[in-house]
Structure formats: structure tokens, C-alpha cells
Amino acid sequence: MWRPSHFFFILCLWACLDALPVAVDKTKVSPPVAELEPPKSVDTGLHYDRYLREVIDFLEKDPHFREKLHNTDMEDIKLGKLATELDFVSHHVRTKLDELKRQEVNRLRTLIKVKQDMNGEKGMTVDHQALLKQFEHLNHMNPHTFEVEDLDRLIKSATNDLENFDKERHEDFKRYEMAKEHDRRKHLKTLDEDARKKEEEHFEEIKKKHADHPKINHPGSQDQLKEVWEEADGLDPNDFDPKTFFNLHDTNGDGYFDEQELEALFTKELEKVYDPTHEEDDMMEMEEERLRMREHVMNEVDTNRDRLVSLDEFIMATNRKEFLEPDGWETLEQNPIYTEEELREFEEHLAREEQDLNLRTNDLMKQREELERQQEQLNAQKMELQRAHSVCLFVRDFRTNEHNSTHKETQKKHTEVKILNV
Ligand SMILES: [Ca+2]
Ligand SMILES: [Ca+2]
């Protein structure tokens, strides 16, 4: 699964790494673009992911740009200050970036054309605003060359889109819950009174069963981490040491807790509430709970807001009062996910979609009937033509035969005359 932190991580690596040994021998000519290696960085999951990664990877190969990266902090990168350095990168890299942009513009154009065609087929109107949004990460007014504005737009779009990633996941989850409730109510309507009552009782019962679970530790608190330390790591709780804990759970050893590493820390807590073999526990809800926990800890601990927890940030958090004496943690089922009003709107939206679909189906059926009628007409015309053609052939053959027999008759007479003359 892709994670927003990857992009921030790439930026962080850019901004924070000590100068990696980049051998620059000025006596040598830069390698031709074709010889540059293909990109290797991780998938961000954005719809322009490939373009983003290729641009980043090629820029990273430019010694000047790379040097500037070391002297630019994260906030300045996000503000677009780095983008102006594009004017100083080597000609080879610039040419490659121009090519990447042209490919990206072509890809987007093809994609939009396909979407328009598909919408047209479904009888849906084209959402021009949504289509334009697809081009926000580059300046499509100039489709040929990659300029400062393109890099600026790319950094800002990626930062913004990745920051909104969690928000979209919450919205998806909300829709999932509303659809679940909608289906349940729809099913209830199909039952007689007795069956409905039984179903309602069963629903209340499993809700109660789900809510009955051991106390959940506040995510990121000493209690919570100590439980991981003791039960998952098998260590003595009396020896708990934040730095050792950090190193143990920084699984890729890069010196940061990323979102995945943080989320993995909550598995023990989540298992107290969710069991995949239990009817009352919905694993989609478990993942939403995991996301909420991770967001909460990130908000508390990630002070420089780069979506990564450094060892310093972690140690600082373990010294706070909240780490030692945390508040309780409210699990998902303790608060409503949507209001009745939101559910009503969602159901209206579903009804509209269903209506549109029915209208479209009716249209298609009418079109099909019309096509069938036209086909029948064509078949009738074709048969008529074939009949007329057969008559023509018959007449022609008849005439030919008649002609041939007259011809033969004449020849016979000529022969007879010739014989008589002889
Ligand atoms: Ca890590
Ligand atoms: Ca951080």
C-alpha cells in the first residue's frame, strides 16, 4: 500500500541528508540523457506518481540542484523556493524533464479523452472542473518545456494532495458505514414484523458484544508502548527504554517512524477490540481506528510536521506529562460516524444515481429496439434485392441460352450449306 510519507521522506532526504558522495569530475562531459538510470523511488499512489518520481529522480542527478537541496529546509521547499534553482540544472537534465513533461501531457490528454468518451457512453455530463484538476501538477498552457512553474506546481500539488489523503480515507469510510446502514434498513423493510423484531434484537446484541472489550490504552502513551515492549517484543517492562524501543520499531532503520511503522505499534490495542472471526467486528472499522490512532500520535509527536517521527521528536514526547498520565481513548463505536441528516442525503444521492441508471437503461433499450427494427428493415430490403437480382440472372441466362441456341442453329445451317456446296 502506498503512503503519503514517502513523498515527504524523499523531500526530507533531499533536504536533510549530509552531502552524499556525488563524484563530479568536471573534466568529463555529462552523460547523455539516454544513459541516465531509470527512477527507483517508492510509489506515492498519486495519479501523477510516475511523473513525480521521474522528475525527482532526474533532478537528483544534477550536482547543482542536489547541492541546493542540502541548503534548503523543508518549509522553503514546500513554499517553492527550490523550484527557481531549476534554471541552473544541466542541459541534459532539462532536456529529459521537457521530454517527461510532454509524455505526461500526452498521457493526461489520452486519459481525459477516454473519460469523456466513457461519460458520453453513460450519458453523463462531463465535469470540467474535475478534469482541469488533473492538470494542476503542471502548466499545461505550455505543453512542450519543463519550466520553474512546472516544478513549483508539482511540489505544491504533491504536498497538498498527500496532506489531504487521510481526509479522503475518512470520507470513504463514512460512505462505507452509511451504505452498510442503508442496506440494513432496506433489508428490514422486506421482513414481516416478527422477523424484523428478531433482526433488530440481533443487531443490538452484536453492537453490545462489539463494545464489550478490555480498556484501550491511549495511543502513543507509556502504557501503550510498554504493552508492545512486553507482549510483542517479549522484554521486561521494568527495562523499558524509549531509545531502544524506537530503534526496535524503526523497522527499515532509516532513523524515523513513518506512518506504517507507527500504525504497526497499534496492532496489540486493536486486537483487544477486533477479531476477524467474530461477526460483530468489522475489519474496515479496525483500519479506520488504526488510522485515527496514527493521526493522533502524529499530531502530538511530529512537531516539524514532515509526517515522520524522528528519534528526537519521539524522546521529547516521552518526556511530556501526557505520555505518563494520558487521558482515556474513545474507540470508534463510542461516537456516531454520521448524522441522520448525512445518511438521508447519502440515500437521496443513491436514489438519484439509481434513477439516472434506470433512465439510461431505458434509453439503451429503446435504442436497441430501434436498431433491431432498422436491422429488420435492412434484411427485408436485402431479400428484396436478392430476389430482384435472381430474376435478372434468370432473364440473362434465358436470353443467353436463347441466343446460343439461335447461334448454334445458324452455324448448323451454315455447315449444311457448306456441305451442299461441296
Ligand atoms: Ca523507519
Ligand atoms: Ca517530524
Give the model confidence (pLDDT) of 275-303 as tens digits.
999 999 999 999 999 999 999 999 999 99
- Averaged pLDDT, 311-325: 95
pLDDT digits (tens, 9 = 90+) for 372-384: 999 999 999 999 9
Q: What is the DSSP string of 296-347?
A: HHHHHH-TT-SS-EEHHHHHHHHTSHHHHSPPP---GGGS-SS-HHHHHHHH
Give pLDDT, residue 74. Answer: 72
Domain ranges of the chain: 44-163, 164-335
Nearest residue to 11 (alpha-carbon basis) of 72, 62, 61:
72
Of 37-41, 265-269, 411-415, which range is least confident? Answer: 37-41
Give pLDDT, residue 41. Answer: 52
- Ligand number nearest CA of 311 is 2
Residue 256 alpha carbon to ligand 1 centre in Å: 4
- Ligand number nearest CA of 259 is 1
> How far is it, in rounded angstroms, from Cα 301 to Cα 315?
9
Give pLDDT, residue 309. Answer: 95
- Averaged pLDDT, 236-240: 95
Residue 298 alpha carbon to ligand 2 centre in Å: 8
Residue 318 alpha carbon to ligand 2 centre in Å: 15
Residue 260 alpha carbon to ligand 1 centre in Å: 8
Give pLDDT, residue 1. Answer: 40
- Ligand number nearest CA of 316 is 2
Per-residue pLDDT band at 367 (split at 50, 70, 90): very high
- Ligand number nearest CA of 257 is 1
**CB-based contacts of 337: which residues, under 8 Å, 6+ apart?**
173, 174, 177
Longest dimension (CA), the chain: 142
Residue 313 alpha carbon to ligand 1 centre in Å: 13
Residue 310 alpha carbon to ligand 1 centre in Å: 9
Residue 147 alpha carbon to ligand 1 centre in Å: 34
Which chain residues have CB less than 5 Å from ligand 2, an ion?
Answer: 302, 304, 306, 308
Percentage of residues in the chain having pLDDT higher than 90: 57
- Ligand number nearest CA of 260 is 1
Superfamily of domain 164-335: EF-hand (1.10.238.10)
Selected residue with higher pLDDT from 67 and 98: 98
pLDDT digits (tens, 9 = 90+) for 182-230: 999 999 999 999 999 999 999 999 999 999 999 999 999 999 999 999 9
Residue 302 alpha carbon to ligand 1 centre in Å: 14
Residue 396 alpha carbon to ligand 1 centre in Å: 90
- Averaged pLDDT, 36-44: 52
Residue 319 alpha carbon to ligand 2 centre in Å: 16
Per-residue pLDDT band at 25 (split at 50, 70, 90): very low
Residue 8 alpha carbon to ligand 1 centre in Å: 13
> How far is it, in rounded angstroms, from Cα 3 to Cα 9?
10
